[in-house]
Amino acid sequence: MHFTQELELFPGKKVTQLLFKEVKNAAVLRKSAVEGKINGALINPTMLVSPFQVLVAANKAVHLQTIEKMKTRSLYSEIIFNLSPTNNISEAFKRFGISDGDDSVMVVVVHDKDESQLLSDITSKVEGRQVPVEDVSSLSDAAKIKKLYKVTPAEETCGTLLDAVICRMAIKDVL
Amino acid sequence: MAQHGGTAAVLEAAELLKQGAEARLYRTRFLGRPAIVKQRFPKRYRHPLLDEKLSQRRTAQEVRSILRCRRAGISAPVVYFVDHTSHCIFLEELVGSSTVRDYIGSHRDLELDRLAERVGQILARMHDEDVIHGDLTTSNMLLRRGTEDGKVDLVLIDFGLSYISALPEDKGVDLYVLEKAFLSTHPNTEALFQKLLDSYARSSNKSAAVLKKLDEVRLRGRKRSMVG
Ligand SMILES: Nc1ncnc2c1ncn2[C@@H]1O[C@H](COP(=O)(O)O)[C@@H](O)[C@H]1O
C-alpha cells in the first residue's frame, strides 16, 4: 500500500510514502515529530494533489541538503517547506504539516536501505487505517489548493492542477 | 565538493539530444517520468564570475517566463526541478510531440492556414503578457495531441533568451526573428506568414503598435543589408 520511488539524481536514495485515514492520535504524532522521535515528515493530505508532488518536494530537499543550502533545520521540515508556494516557514508548517485535530496523514520517509523496518516503525506509531497512497487525490481540497498556490482558471486550460502546483514549487526561489 | 550522484552524474548517463551554443539538452527520467534536462555550461571566453551570474540569471528568467505563460493559459513544458548550482532545468518531456517545423513540411494549405491562425493567437496572447520569447522559430513550437479531446495543443519551448518587456519595439523584433526563421526554413510561405500576422493583429488590441514596429525593423534590416 505504501509507495517507494528511487531518486534518480541520488542513486540509492529512496522516498517512501504511507497514507493513513481515520487517524486518532494526530496530536501525539505531531508532538513526536517535533521532538524528532518520528523519522519522517507528517503531511496534511488535504493539501496534496498527488504523490508526485511529495516526490518533487523530497528530491529538492535532498538536493539542498547535499549542497548544504537547506532553509530549515532538518530534511523532513525541508520537505514540508518545499511543498509551500511561499518562503514563509511557519506558514508552510501550518498549511502542509499535520495539525492536532487531523484525521488523515501522509507520512514521508527518505531512506537508503530496505524500508521494511522503517515501515513497521511508522505503522506501529499511527493509530489509523492505512490506505493506498494514490487515494490521496480523494482527500485533496482542490479549492484550498488553488487559492493557496494562486492557480488561475486560464492556467487550468493548459495543464492539470498538479502541473500548476509542481511549477510553483520548483520555481518559488526565483519568483 | 566531491559528491555522489547529483545532476552531473545523471547527465553522464542521459541521452544527449542537442548540443547548442549556450546549453545542452538531454533526455532522462525524473521521479519516474520522462524528462528533458537543459544544462547551461560554462563559457570559457567569459570571466568565470560573470559567466556564473549570467547562467544564473538566464536560468531564473527561463523558468519565470514558462510560469508566466502557463498562468495565462499558454502551454509550455512543466518545470519539475531547477538545480541552480549546475544551471540545469528539468522539464516535462512532451512525449510524442512534433515540431511546427515538421508539420509545415508535411501538411497542406487548409491545415497550415489553421495552424498559422493558432500560432498568431498564441503569440499575441504571450505578448499581451509582456513575455518576449527571444528565439521564436518553428522548431521552438511543438504540437501535442490533447489527451481527452484529441485536439492539438501548441506548446512553446526554449525560453532561454526570454525576458519581460511591454515595449512594442521588443515585441516587433520578436516577430521579426520569427519571420526571418520562418521564411528561410519554409521557402515560399510569405502568404502563410501573413496569415499568422493577420491572426496576431486580430487577437490583440495592442497589435497595431507592434506591427508598425515590425515594419520599421524590416526596413532597417533591408537598409543594413543594402549597405552591406
Ligand atoms: N520539453 C520537450 N519535450 C519534447 N521535446 C523537446 C522538449 N524540449 C525540446 N525538445 C526537442 O528538442 C529540440 C530542440 O529543443 P531546443 O533546444 O529547446 O530548441 C526541439 O525541437 C524538440 O524537438
The residue to which cell 527518505 is assigned: A110
DSSP code, position B148: T
CA B159 to ligand 1 centroid distance, Å:
11
The confidence score (pLDDT) of residue B1 equals 39
ipTM: 0.94
β partners of residue A21: A129
Cell of residue A65, nine digits: 541538503
Q: What domain range includes position A76?
A: 3-171
Determine the length of chain A. 175
User: In this structure, are strands B131-132 and B98-99 parallel, antiparallel, or unpaired?
Assistant: unpaired
For chain A, what is the domain count?
A: 1
Q: What is the CATH number of the domain that holds A95?
A: 3.30.2380.10
Architecture field, domain B4-92: 2-Layer Sandwich (3.30)
pTM: 0.94
Helices A161-171 and B48-71: angle between axes, nearest 10 degrees: 160
One CATH from 1.10.510.10, 2.60.120.10, 3.40.50.720, 1.10.3720.10 for B97-223: 1.10.510.10
Work out the pLDDT band at A114, boundaries 50, 70, 90: confident
Contact A159 B75 (CB under 8 A): yes
**CA distance linking residue B59 with residue B23, whole number of Å:** 11
Instruction: Tell how far CA A91 is from the center of its chain.
Output: 15
Q: Which tens digits make up the pLDDT trace of A82-99?
A: 999 999 999 999 999 999
- B73 touches A: beta carbon within 8 Å: yes
Overall average pLDDT of the A27-45 stretch? 94
For residue A99, the tally of other CB atoms under 10 A from its CB is 12
Secondary-structure percent of chain B, ordered helix, strand, coil, rounded to 5: 50, 20, 30
Q: Which tens digits make up the pLDDT trace of B25-70?
A: 999 999 999 999 999 998 888 999 999 999 999 999 999 999 999 9
Does any ligand 1 atom lie closer than 6 A to the CB of residue B116? Answer: no
